């Protein structure tokens, strides 16, 4: 039976969806294979308008990577997807006899990704960030508050409903789209205050008797809904989800005076909050305890991911600055405490002073 590349990709995507992967993960994989510069297009360019799996060869793979636009990170992601697809196709004997996924991808390795410097807003400017968001709309302040005090991703904030927030028990239930599970997080006193003020405004501007009555009558309304369009854009549309929370964050950052906001958005608030939380906890419960708690808040599987997220490179920069003016071990070296004529022993004039440090000089073995 002849199977086209397009048919195979469709079957592969059904297979991946059947594994229970998050919708966002499936969408990214589909884009790598079916998108404008995807594998299907690469095969069509080299083999004709309706290529079959039996025609897939090295030229298809070469064209796939030649057409890539973007950095090494996205290229690596495309390589992972193609490797999975070709491995799946090999297992179902869709490739030409004798041809393997490993052979097709021979020489294509992951490339080193240079992490661009990210913006971290200091904790003492969080109140300013909330005020800047409120200047746009009260709803926008609520969005930023949820980001700062839950460290949730935008994909987790958008689907939140009124029923997910319980201010009596101070719990917030959220669906982790990236991992495909529901979790609960505690509502801090700061977030409780922000949500009470937001729900008061929400109920008033949707003609509800009170926030409690609004939640009882409309539990499925979105917690931070979309706004209406056109002349009614300042009014809420409670039955439609938030559209572009990253624009809310960018607008707030711009009001605060930040520039060059390409690539910045909700993750800016999320990682800024994570870094501030880590620093705060580090001073009270230690490095390891702080890292574990921040990792749990971010819903990360790997603590190394959390370290990168809170800005390990920036921490190194701070360390280097500190090293330039401080001793590593609390005492200056013996050489640093020698008087200005410390070279007298070499010139034959004077006797060098003994060091006043308690540091024991390390001698290299012959």
Task: Assess whether 72 and 187 both reside in one domain.
Answer: no
289 lies in the same domain as 350: no
Strand order through the sheet with 165-166: 165-166, 171-176, 181-186
Residue 270 and residue 153 in one domain = yes
Contact call for residues 164 and 195 (beta carbons, < 8 A): no
Task: Assess if residue 114 is contained within a domain.
Answer: no
CATH code, 222: 1.10.443.10
Taking only the tens place, the pLDDT of each residue in 257-308 is 999 898 899 999 999 999 999 999 988 998 889 989 999 999 998 888 898 8
144 with 190, same domain: the answer is: yes
Are residues 214 and 76 part of one domain? no
pLDDT tens for each residue of 42-65: 999 999 999 999 999 999 999 999
Asked if residue 365 is part of any domain, the answer here is no
What does 246-314 look like in DSSP terms, one character per residue?
A: HHHHHHHHHHTT----TT-SHHHHHHHHHHHHHHHHHHHH-HHHHHHHHHHHHT-S-HHHHHHHTTHHH
pLDDT for residue 234: 78
Residues 201 and 347 in one domain: no
Same domain, 151 and 260: yes
Quote the distance between the C-alpha of residue 153 and its chain's center. 8
Report the relative pairing of strands 165-166 and 171-176 from DSSP bridges: antiparallel
**Using alpha carbons only, what angle is made at residue 198 by residues 196 and 199, rounded to the nearest 5 degrees?**
65
CB atoms under 10 Å from CB of 357, counted, come to 16
Q: Which domain holds residue 345?
A: 332-357
Number of domains in the chain: 3
Distance CA 163, CA 35 (A): 37
For residues 125 and 23, membership in a common domain is answered with: no
Nearest C-alpha neighbor of 148 from the set 178, 170, 177, 126: 126
Residues 90-116: tens digit of each pLDDT: 999 999 999 999 999 999 998 887 666
- The answer for residues whose C-beta is within 8 angstroms of residue 97's C-beta and 6 or more apart is none
Are 31 and 178 in the same domain?
no
Same domain (yes/no): 92, 241: no
The predicted-structure confidence for 217-251, as pLDDT tens digits, reads as follows 999 999 999 998 877 777 899 999 998 899 999 99
For the chain, give the mean pLDDT. 87
The answer on 295 and 164 residing in a single domain is yes
Alpha-carbon torsion (123, 289, 157, 22), positive or negative: positive
Contact 105, 63 (CB under 8 A): no
Specify whether 163 is located in the same domain as 255: yes
Helix 138-150, helix 266-285: angle, nearest 10: 40
**H or E stretch at 227:** strand 226-227
**Count of C-beta atoms within a 10 Å radius of residue 89:** 22
């Amino acid at each position: 039976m002849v199977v086209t590349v397009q048919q195979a990709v469709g079957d592969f995507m059904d297979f991946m969806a059947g594994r229970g992967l998050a919708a966002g993960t499936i969408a990214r994989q589909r884009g790598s294979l079916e998108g404008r510069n995807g594998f299907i297009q690469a095969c069509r360019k080299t083999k004709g308008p309706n290529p079959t799996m039996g025609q897939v060869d090295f030229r298809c793979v070469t064209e796939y990577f030649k057409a890539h636009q973007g950095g090494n990170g996205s290229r690596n992601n495309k390589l992972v997807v193609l490797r999975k697809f070709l491995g799946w196709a090999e297992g179902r004997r869709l490739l030409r006899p004798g041809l393997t996924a490993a052979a097709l991808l021979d020489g294509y390795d992951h490339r080193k990704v240079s992490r661009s410097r990210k913006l971290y807003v200091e904790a003492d400017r969080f109140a300013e960030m909330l005020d800047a968001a409120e200047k746009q709309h009260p709803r926008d302040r609520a969005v930023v508050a949820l980001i700062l005090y839950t460290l949730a991703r935008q994909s987790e904030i958008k689907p939140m409903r009124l029923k997910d927030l319980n201010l009596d028990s101070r719990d917030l239930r959220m669906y982790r789209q990236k991992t495909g599970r529901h979790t609960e997080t505690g509502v801090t006193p700061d977030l409780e205050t922000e949500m009470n003020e937001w729900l008061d405004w929400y109920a008033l501007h949707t003609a509800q008797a009170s926030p409690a009555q609004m939640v009882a009558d409309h539990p499925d309304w979105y917690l931070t809904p979309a706004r209406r369009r056109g002349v009614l854009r300042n009014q809420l549309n409670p039955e439609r989800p938030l559209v572009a929370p990253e624009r809310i964050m960018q607008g707030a950052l711009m009001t605060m005076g930040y520039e060059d906001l390409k690539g910045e958005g909700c993750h800016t608030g999320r990682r800024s909050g994570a870094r501030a939380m880590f620093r705060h906890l580090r001073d009270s419960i230690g490095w390891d305890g702080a890292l574990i708690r921040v990792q749990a808040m971010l819903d990360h599987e790997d603590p190394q991911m959390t370290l990168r997220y809170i800005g390990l490179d920036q921490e190194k920069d701070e360390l280097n600055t500190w090293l330039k003016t401080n001793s590593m071990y609390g005492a200056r070296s013996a050489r640093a405490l020698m008087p200005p004529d410390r070279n007298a022993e070499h010139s034959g004039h004077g006797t060098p002073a003994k060091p006043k440090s308690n540091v024991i000089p390390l001698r290299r073995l012959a």
